[in-house]
Amino acid sequence: MIALDTNVLLNLYRSNERTRADTLAVLTKLRDRIWIPHQVLVEFWRNREQSAIRHHHSSKAKEARSALDKICRTAQDALDRWVTAVHLKNDKDVTDSIQGFMASLSSVVGNVGALIDAQAKKDALEGTADTGTDPVLSALEPLLQGRCGAPLSSEQHAKAVQEAQERAEEEVPPGYEDFRTKPPEQAAGDYILWVQLLEEAKSRTCDVLLVTGDVKKDWWSQRDGDIPARPRKELVLEMRNRAGVGLFMLTPSELLGMADALLGLQVDQSSVSDLEQLKDSPQMSSEGWTVKSLELFMKRLSARYQPQAKVITAAAVNGGFVDRETVYELAGYPADRQLKGFTRPISTVARELEEEGELSGDEPILLRAVYGSATEPSWATGFRVPEEVIPTLREFSPVDAHFQSNSRPDKYEFAISLAEAMLSEKDKSQRTPEEIRSVAGVVQGMVAATGREVSIDRIVRELESRMDVWFPSDTPKGGSVSDGH
């Protein structure tokens, strides 16, 4: 039995035409032995909707163009600063030379960009917006018809998620790596796939070859000298003990590389290399956000739009949702102010970072309004952040399991103590009024998520007192809410 992981199917969108044709030729040869775990179908359909998957080549072209444009902007900024610093702004010979150099650079960047766009257009897949015209789905349908597993029952699914969490705590493969960055329901995906694979192998009583592009250490024992990478021994033993069969694993590029010897099928070596590069590249998360991009976004947002940053933080601490009343309290808005356009600054920052090449443009909106008020249907009842980014957002905030489990009266003290620890790690020169106020805003968001109202000015005073610092009373203040207890 040959089981295919999700990335094998998604690679058909990310590959060029030659590699896609070679992959499909190999899968066609192996068709009678192929089996697809139901979890693979779930992940395939979820990830297929991403623009970065169906429009992989145009997305990557866009990233490359953004990076090239950033080079021009950076060069121009650097030259402008240099000319100003050495007092050459009025030197016509120098400024004319710089303009000539920048024109040449812009021309080169434009030509390279045109090459990138042309290649992306050549490799692009047409018709993927409609499942009826999607060429990948059309090719997969006859291959996978009747070869897909059934889903777990609700009880079995809940049990598998619980088992995945317990195994992750002990770092028992597979899938424990995902629990570092994803919520349990999503992080359990690898283990659910594994459970389905074990049951199918036990039913068929035949050895299993799992083809996967997931090269994390919770699946593989890495290459050691001349010994190639191989399945984790725990997985081999579990397959043997529970299903009575052997487990073998290959990456998609290894499968294509063996096509000639095993199947008598001629495969272009460039296709093998292309799949190898896809394996080694960072895998797309289903969210589109990375730890780095999310951290950069939140820093930019906090510096310019504190109310929105506070609401996102509070929503993450509160499990993903923050209600309308809490938004008013965090932002310090009067009761008669509308929330129309509240998320606009979030789109503004995202667009800026996309133009700078820091975001791909495929990241989901970080804060969405939730509607449904019985009295005013057009009013937002609150705001929600994507479930998938909650663990990472919480890492940026001084909150952990102790905060979640502490008794309510102690949560303010606990949050203040964590904020104090954050500031203590900085040099005194870094403990600026702005930095303290920024940290105070995070504390306010944490406390607000518990239903308690504390003004940001009070938190600032508390932190200043504990850190033995003092700033003039005319320090610019941010929004505050009533100093209730």
- Distance CA(473)–CA(471), nearest Å, equals 6
- Angle in degrees, 0-180, between the axes of helices 135-144 and 17-29, rounded to the nearest 10: 10
Low pLDDT (below 70) residues in the chain: 51, 181-183, 223-228, 264-288, 361-362, 371-379, 395-431, 446-452, 465-485
* Cβ neighbour number for residue 398 with a 10 Å cutoff: 20
Residue 215's SS3 state is coil
pLDDT digits (tens, 9 = 90+) for 276-309: 665 544 443 434 688 788 888 998 998 899 899 9
pLDDT digits (tens, 9 = 90+) for 343-394: 889 988 988 887 777 877 667 788 888 765 445 555 677 888 887 788 778 7
Residue 218's SS3 state is coil
How open is the CA angle 445-446-447, to the nearest 5 degrees?
95
CB distance 286 to 186 below 8 Å: yes
pLDDT of residue 209: 92
pLDDT of residue 409: 40
Q: What is the pTM of this model?
A: 0.55
Q: For the chain, what are the domain ranges? A: 2-55+132-280, 56-123, 291-466
pLDDT of residue 14: 83
pLDDT of residue 260: 74
Residue 16's SS3 state is coil
- Distance CA(417)–CA(415), nearest Å, equals 5
The per-residue pLDDT of the chain, averaged, comes to: 78
